[in-house]
Structure 1
Amino acid sequence: MSTGQWVRDLGMGVRFAFAGGREGWVRALLTAIGVGLGVALLLLTTAVPSALTERDHRGSARDDFTYGADVLPKADDTLIIADAGTTYREKDVRGRLLEPEGAKAPLPPGVEKFPAKGEMLASPALKKLLESDSGKVLRERIPYRITGTIEQSGLVGPAELAYYAGASGLAERISGGYVERIDYFGPSAGVQDDGMDPILILLVMIVFVVLLLPVGVFIAAAVRFGGERRDRRLAALRLVGADGGMARRVAAGEALAGALLGLVLGTGFFLAGRQLATLMQVRDISVFTSDLNPSLGLALLVAVAVPAAAVLVTLFALRGVVIEPLGVVRAAKPPRRRLWWRLLLPLGGLALLYPMVGQGNDNGNFNEWMVIGGTVLLLVGITTLLPWLVEAVVARLNSGSVSWQLAVRRLQLSSGTAARMVNGIAVAVAGAIALQMLFAGVESGYTEDTGNDVNRAQMTFSVRDDIKLSEVTGQLARTEGVRHASALSEGSLGDKAKEPDNSVEVAVGSCAELREVARLTSCRDGDVFRILGSQYGEGTEKITKAGGTLYFDPGYPGSTAHTTSWKVPTGIKTAGPREDPTGYERGGLLITPRALPEGAAAGMYQKVFLSLDQSVPDAAEYARNTAARLDPLTSVNTLASTRQTEEFRAIRTGLFVGATCVLVLIGASLLVSQLEQLRERKKLLSSLVAFGTRRRTLSLSVLWQTAIPIALGLLLASAVGLTLGAVLLKMVGYTVSVDWSSVLAMTGIGASVVLAVTLLSLPPLLRLMRPDGLRTE
């Protein structure tokens, strides 16, 4: 067979698709919509890496804290910057106070001019929030006047909440980590990325396979829309002299036409969605329209692969169909499907994955091609096993109501069409179950117990030393939603004024506040306590002998100490160790305010433990507002019992974003598929209505035709998903366990999507069930 003959036959099929009247156009359009939805998601997937890269580049370009011990000298090109970030209703607000020290001070990216003191430049999202009623509480915390906005080059995303405010007097507060003097913006020299460990790399690979494979399945199903009517046209083509091979190539040409139109529609869907990108935010991730630029190579791959897949899928689908001049053999009862070769795909997938059992962090990296290949074979095995399963089950279903019998008979005659409709969602559910098992299994390795006792306190503040503790506790006590506040001054005592050989920690507070961090028998103002038995209190008794001289805030090289001498009094009481709300068990000395020597408080920092009334809305926000009034640079931390690594959270967020897009595609594609099947059965439905069949009966029959394959598909998906999840957990060396609530949740989501699609298809179904549908031209 020459290439020219192939081109002519495919071209004829393309002409049939677009010049075959209304019937051809409708079929080509439905195919194009189904393919276009898949193409749009593929283009979005190819654009995600570039979008994340652009976000990272902008984030790195505005890096400002070096966390170095050395302080730069003041110069004409230096800038003092302070971290004034906060959190508002679980959303991070990136805040910086700026004080330029010369005409050449570096401007942050996205900023054309430094804001004056009391003014700020805000991101568009923050400006909108502060000007709305929902941002009223935050406006009290950020009282600066907005004089402009931060441009795109200074933001990681359009939904980011960020601001730069002008300030003065920051030089006195320079300290590594919160206030620094810098002469450039950008990543610090010498910072290296160690990369992800093998288990996280495995998670990323599985996420991509699980999210993209259903897209391919939907595209393959979309190019087979209108199969029965196409077969009748091919029979007519045979009647005028075409051989079987030519008929199949013409059919492939029709599918190619729908795929090419789908590429156009998919590009349009992608561009339309791209314009709406700035309005979308998933788990605090947002992107600019200009960031969503698909990689040229990957976009060309999609442009070539989709039409090629359409041709190959059509030829494969017609491999066992005998097209004769007077009809198509497919109209008769199809031969029984064989099981043995359908088991080869999942068994082959297990064979590829099995050699990597036990690998992971301790035993090297996983072979990425074997992981991807094995996972793909296991999940694709669903698409080969499901038609056999549906056929085997419906063949044994007979008695029942009229609607049940109509549905079962339809499934017995065309179980393959029903299975194709379910394939995509079954693959997606199986992959989701496997991923859920893998995430749940390895989560403990990337989650650590913080030791925080969230029942005793929910927040901690660090307040500068020149603010009186009484003022701190007084203002917090008057704050709405604050149940209890415990404030301590903390510092150190050394045996020398400079570079001491031995030192102990010291905490100053009232008796009630000291009882939060130690076990006291009796206490009154003026007492001093020595904590014994603490894991960090070794040597405390030796260094704190009565009559000895100790020094508050002893000096070390590079420090600005406020050293104050203190003679250790007699009659020091003994206290037992107790963990504070953050889980820290301190040692050293505890001092009540009357026993503290004058001037010693200047070298201490103050820490506040805060207990909130959770029944008060925005209690945490009111507390943050109070902290900001005390000091705009107050460090506020929300206590949590556990903490996950950033990379693990990022992968889970990416999975959530991708799964959301795939679910939208699943619903849209299933709706298109359902409408296409109803369109093909228009005359049959009209005939049944004309003979007196009730519409309720026909509607129930359509529901049963959807419900039976979906139930079987979800059952098969659960089995394959559990198998894949168990193998993946064995690969990373974790115990195999099943969270049945998550499995039920995944299957429930899949079933709910199908139920929603079925309900949306009822109005078109009712319109089709009219006797005048028997008319023909």
Structure 2
Amino acid sequence: MGLRLAVAGGREAITRLIVIAVAVAVGAGLLLATFAGVNAVNVQLTRYAALYPDPSAGGSDADPLWWAVREDYFHGEQILRADVAATGAGSPIPVGIPKTPGPGEYYASPALRRLLAATAHDQLAARYPGRDLGTIGDAALTAPDSLLIIVGGTPERVGRLPHAQQLTSTGDNTPAIPATVVDLIMSVIVAGLLFPVLIFIGTATRLSAARREQRFAAMRLVGATPRQISVIAAIEAAAAAVAGTVLGFVLFLAFRGSLAAVPFTGDRFFPGDLSLSVPNILVVALGVPAGAALAAAVSLNRVRVSPLGVSRRVTPRAPRWYRLLPLPLGLAELAFFLIGPMPETSDGQMAVFLPGLLLVMTGLLLAGPLLTMAGARFLARRSTRPATLIAARRLADNPMAGFRAISGITLALFITSVATGVITTIVANRGTAPTGSIDAATLSTYAHDGPASVTGTVLAGLHSVPGVRSVSVLRQNPVEHHDPLVACADIPAVYGRCGTGAAVAEVANDFIPYRGSADSTRVWPAASVSVGALAQLPVESVVVGTDGSAAAIERARTILELAYPDFFVAPNVPGDFESEFANTLRGWQQLADVTIVAGLAIAGCSLAVSVVGGLTERRRPFSLLRLSGASVRVLRRVVALESAVPMLTVAVIAVGLGLLSAQLFVKAQMGYTLEPPGPEFYAVIVAGLTACLAIIASTLPLLERITGPETARSE
């Protein structure tokens, strides 16, 4: 009977089923894409962690494999170099290649092979002399664009490299533990999609709830039990939800390849990494239809209470003040760690920050109706037009219904504001050196136990590079934990100078203090070491000043890497080490922008469904207003104001609370002050809200068609 009732209501019933099925399909597809995206990120992190394996993992019978990973850079992009050396025939083979390369041999990833072919030899390829054995397979790469090279060497040579270790197994799936910040960003982004999707599905299943309540109330009056009504309503909603869920799986599979090609996190995914686990499939396949059925059952609560409950409708009780409590409690938890002790572990930090954010999110949902009611009452007191007064009185009469339509927008804006605020602040504090600055033109390398001196051949090679302006050799300070030493005559003017009478000075490793910048007015502190004694100290750092051109930096980098491969830190420009992290965060920022657009689009669809449903349920009151003399234009203003006023009001509050939460997090976690998002962030929000307003406007022509005089008669 439930199935027959679902399709026996004519065009209106079929339209309702199609709308619900499409809404559920979009929601289910996005849920599947979200789950698959989380799984793909975990795969990327796990493969990255496998490049830094635990030497205690695996068996102990195999001949060990020497393994050392170093970071290299080219034009700000990170290149990972793994030096390997087998100690016997039974040594494990690195993942992704058919055999362990020997001395003078290497394997390169597809992206690196393309880069090597397109770049001048002395800028990159000269760093990896030897025979190219082939391509590294996908199993060893974090992404299709990964720059990875596996270079063979002798056990003696590789064993001397920094971070060298012996492995007896390379096939272990080492679990990756993401950084706290990345965990936070990923969590809020996932929530930014999940919550609007769930709200969208719930809104769609409540479509024409009032009309269905009347029908089910009539069935109760002729003898149907509450249980029978619940079963019929659940079957009707679940039928459309099942069809929509199946369509959602089809949409996910059809667009999975396109999703993998988009660098949401800064790197593209392999299509196979966008996979679904059995729990993911069961959650969507069973949870979405069950949720739709539950939403239908909840919407009929008044019918279950009494078959006359539909006709005895009264004004709902106004929201109480205690709905505001979770908001200050959540903000107080985030603010507590500005003065209280911070947990030392990443898991501990996540355990205190995520509940605070979830509490603020919950507070927004609970306080939304109260804020909507307060805004409606203020609007009613200041209104001078009929449309404004009617809309304000209706919102004040039932603020929960008015806020329900925009709750998805509220959460989307809050979540993405938090993510954007955190990302923007971290990128601003940990990004690369500004283009055109002296910092960006300075190349340096660093060693714990460097060579006794830098040969004349190396110095001549560096000076011969077009664009190289200076080469300074910094030596180890005999006083432990003190900065390196350099002869005052070797300090270029752009990096500062020595005090009067000083011959040797203590300077930063690259003339640029940590998180500072090069300063020509800086006076470096004098050292008590003589120039003659300075020449006997081991080299700690070589600093090369350039004109900032990419060619000069990369040619000088290549010379230093070939001359001193054992240096603890590869030649780098200030910010190279941070560039990979900053690029990753920019990828998260891109994902946050996508989340804003997708979340607002989904919330806009929920709003459209809610507006259409509200128009359908109020066709008789609107018809009576038209018969009383109200024009269609006035009624359209009423509908637009009912949706637009709470949406714009709560949007401002959600963005403000999101940025405040981001400030509390970055201040407590890293000591940073929030860097305001750029104009593009606000442009995306304005564009999204404008699209929501356009969606509302697109439903208004329906008003004239459904409010004719024939609708005013009593049914």
Q: Same fold (TM over 0.5)?
A: yes
Q: Which stretch of structure 1 is more off in the superposition, 156-165 or 689-698?
A: 689-698
* 1:757 aligns to 2:687 (yes or no): no
* 1:255 aligns to 2:237 (yes or no): yes
Equivalent residue, structure 2, for 1:175 = 160
Aligned mate of 1:224, from 185, 190, 206: 206
Equivalent residue, structure 1, for 2:654 = 717
Q: Are the structure 2 counterparts of residues 224 and 129 from structure 1 closer, same or farther at C-alpha, using a change threshold of 3 Å?
A: farther
What displacement does 1:203 show?
A: 8.5
Equivalent residue, structure 1, for 2:300 = 318
Given that residues 30 and 197 in structure 2 are in contact (C-alpha distance below 8 angstroms), is that contact kept between their aligned partners in structure 1? Answer: yes
Equivalent residue, structure 2, for 1:669 = 602
What displacement does 1:710 show?
A: 0.9
Quote the Cα distance in structure 2 between the aligned partners of 1:690 and 1:622: 81
Q: Are the structure 2 counterparts of residues 668 and 697 from structure 1 closer, same or farther at C-alpha, using a change threshold of 3 Å?
A: same
TM-score (norm. length: structure 2): 0.70
What displacement does 1:708 show?
A: 0.7
Equivalent residue, structure 2, for 1:608 = 543
Q: Are the structure 2 counterparts of residues 318 and 628 from structure 1 closer, same or farther at C-alpha, using a change threshold of 3 Å?
A: same
Quote the Cα distance in structure 1 between the aligned partners of 2:351 and 2:484: 55
Structure 1 residues 546-605: Cα deviation after superposition (integer angstroms, max 9, x where no partner): xxxxxxxxxxxxxxxxxxxxxxxxxxxx5454556143978464649xx999xx89x757
Equivalent residue, structure 1, for 2:17 = 28
Equivalent residue, structure 2, for 1:528 = none
Equivalent residue, structure 1, for 2:407 = 423
**Where in structure 2 are the equivalents of 1:365-376 lying within 5 Å?**
376=358
Equivalent residue, structure 2, for 1:86 = 72
* 1:519 aligns to 2:449 (yes or no): no
Aligned mate of 2:141, from 145, 155, 166: 155
Aligned mate of 1:707, from 632, 644, 658: 644
Paired residue secondary structure (2:343): coil
Identity of aligned residues (%): 23
Q: Are the structure 2 counterparts of residues 704 and 240 from structure 1 closer, same or farther at C-alpha, using a change threshold of 3 Å?
A: same
What displacement does 1:459 show?
A: 3.1
Quote the Cα distance in structure 2 between the aligned partners of 1:508 and 1:173: 34
Q: Are the structure 2 counterparts of residues 305 and 596 from structure 1 closer, same or farther at C-alpha, using a change threshold of 3 Å?
A: closer
Equivalent residue, structure 2, for 1:535 = none
Given that residues 80 and 148 in structure 2 are in contact (C-alpha distance below 8 angstroms), is that contact kept between their aligned partners in structure 1? Answer: yes
Structure 1 residues 11-32: Cα deviation after superposition (integer angstroms, max 9, x where no partner): x444433554443333233223
Paired residue secondary structure (2:301): coil
Paired residue secondary structure (2:253): helix
AA matched with 2:650? G
Structure 1 residues 378-436: Cα deviation after superposition (integer angstroms, max 9, x where no partner): 53343343234434533543746687678668757875554222102213334455677
Quote the Cα distance in structure 1 between the aligned partners of 2:460 and 2:81: 25
Given that residues 123 and 551 in structure 2 are in contact (C-alpha distance below 8 angstroms), is that contact kept between their aligned partners in structure 1? Answer: no
What displacement does 1:347 show?
A: 7.8
Equivalent residue, structure 2, for 1:287 = 269
Quote the Cα distance in structure 2 between the aligned partners of 1:32 and 1:288: 30
Q: Which stretch of structure 1 is more off in the superposition, 120-129 or 368-377?
A: 368-377
Equivalent residue, structure 2, for 1:459 = 442
What displacement does 1:663 show?
A: 2.8
Paired residue secondary structure (2:649): helix
What displacement does 1:771 show?
A: 6.5
TM-score (norm. length: structure 1): 0.65
* 1:271 aligns to 2:216 (yes or no): no
Given that residues 79 and 105 in structure 1 are in contact (C-alpha distance below 8 angstroms), is that contact kept between their aligned partners in structure 2? Answer: yes
**Where in structure 2 are the equivalents of 1:12-51 lying within 5 Å?**
12-18=1-7, 20-47=9-36, 50-51=39-40
AA matched with 2:319? L
Q: Are the structure 2 counterparts of residues 624 and 65 from structure 1 closer, same or farther at C-alpha, using a change threshold of 3 Å?
A: farther
Equivalent residue, structure 2, for 1:382 = 364
Q: Are the structure 2 counterparts of residues 64 and 402 from structure 1 closer, same or farther at C-alpha, using a change threshold of 3 Å?
A: same
Paired residue secondary structure (1:337): coil
Q: Are the structure 2 counterparts of residues 590 and 251 from structure 1 closer, same or farther at C-alpha, using a change threshold of 3 Å?
A: farther
AA matched with 1:425? I
- What is the root-mean-square deviation of aligned Cα atoms in Å? 6.1
Equivalent residue, structure 2, for 1:340 = 320
AA matched with 2:571? V
AA matched with 2:601? A
Given that residues 158 and 286 in structure 1 are in contact (C-alpha distance below 8 angstroms), is that contact kept between their aligned partners in structure 2? Answer: yes
Quote the Cα distance in structure 2 between the aligned partners of 1:90 and 1:151: 24
Quote the Cα distance in structure 2 between the aligned partners of 1:650 and 1:504: 30
Given that residues 36 and 274 in structure 2 are in contact (C-alpha distance below 8 angstroms), is that contact kept between their aligned partners in structure 1? Answer: yes
Structure 1 residues 675-698: Cα deviation after superposition (integer angstroms, max 9, x where no partner): 435655489799999999999988
Counting helix residues as a fraction of each chain, which structure ranks higher?
2
Q: Are the structure 2 counterparts of residues 413 and 350 from structure 1 closer, same or farther at C-alpha, using a change threshold of 3 Å?
A: closer
AA matched with 2:18? L
Given that residues 121 and 146 in structure 1 are in contact (C-alpha distance below 8 angstroms), is that contact kept between their aligned partners in structure 2? Answer: yes
Aligned mate of 2:460, from 453, 466, 471: 471
Equivalent residue, structure 1, for 2:517 = none
Equivalent residue, structure 1, for 2:571 = 636
What displacement does 1:149 show?
A: 2.6
Given that residues 40 and 266 in structure 1 are in contact (C-alpha distance below 8 angstroms), is that contact kept between their aligned partners in structure 2? Answer: yes
* 1:59 aligns to 2:44 (yes or no): no
Paired residue secondary structure (2:464): helix
What displacement does 1:490 show?
A: 3.8
Q: Are the structure 2 counterparts of residues 298 and 406 from structure 1 closer, same or farther at C-alpha, using a change threshold of 3 Å?
A: same
Q: Are the structure 2 counterparts of residues 660 and 689 from structure 1 closer, same or farther at C-alpha, using a change threshold of 3 Å?
A: farther
Structure 1 residues 514-552: Cα deviation after superposition (integer angstroms, max 9, x where no partner): 995862657xxxxxxxx7xxxxxxxxxxxxxxxxxxxxx
Given that residues 51 and 291 in structure 1 are in contact (C-alpha distance below 8 angstroms), is that contact kept between their aligned partners in structure 2? Answer: yes
Q: Are the structure 2 counterparts of residues 741 and 169 from structure 1 closer, same or farther at C-alpha, using a change threshold of 3 Å?
A: closer
Given that residues 82 and 170 in structure 1 are in contact (C-alpha distance below 8 angstroms), is that contact kept between their aligned partners in structure 2? Answer: no
**Where in structure 2 are the equivalents of 1:684-703 lying within 5 Å?**
none
Given that residues 107 and 113 in structure 1 are in contact (C-alpha distance below 8 angstroms), is that contact kept between their aligned partners in structure 2? Answer: yes
Paired residue secondary structure (1:468): helix
Given that residues 507 and 590 in structure 1 are in contact (C-alpha distance below 8 angstroms), is that contact kept between their aligned partners in structure 2? Answer: no
* 1:486 aligns to 2:477 (yes or no): no
Q: Are the structure 2 counterparts of residues 631 and 425 from structure 1 closer, same or farther at C-alpha, using a change threshold of 3 Å?
A: same
AA matched with 1:340? R
Quote the Cα distance in structure 2 between the aligned partners of 1:360 and 1:699: 53
* 1:627 aligns to 2:613 (yes or no): no
AA matched with 2:647? I
Structure 1 residues 449-483: Cα deviation after superposition (integer angstroms, max 9, x where no partner): 99xx975664323498446354244234x13xx6x
What displacement does 1:335 show?
A: 0.2
What displacement does 1:110 show?
A: 0.8
Given that residues 31 and 222 in structure 1 are in contact (C-alpha distance below 8 angstroms), is that contact kept between their aligned partners in structure 2? Answer: yes
AA matched with 1:427? L
Quote the Cα distance in structure 1 between the aligned partners of 2:643 and 2:406: 9
Equivalent residue, structure 2, for 1:142 = 125
Quote the Cα distance in structure 2 between the aligned partners of 1:103 and 1:46: 42
Structure 1 residues 621-651: Cα deviation after superposition (integer angstroms, max 9, x where no partner): 54114422565576221214996997xx899
Given that residues 416 and 593 in structure 2 are in contact (C-alpha distance below 8 angstroms), is that contact kept between their aligned partners in structure 1? Answer: no
Paired residue secondary structure (1:276): helix
Q: Are the structure 2 counterparts of residues 410 and 249 from structure 1 closer, same or farther at C-alpha, using a change threshold of 3 Å?
A: farther
What displacement does 1:111 show?
A: 1.1
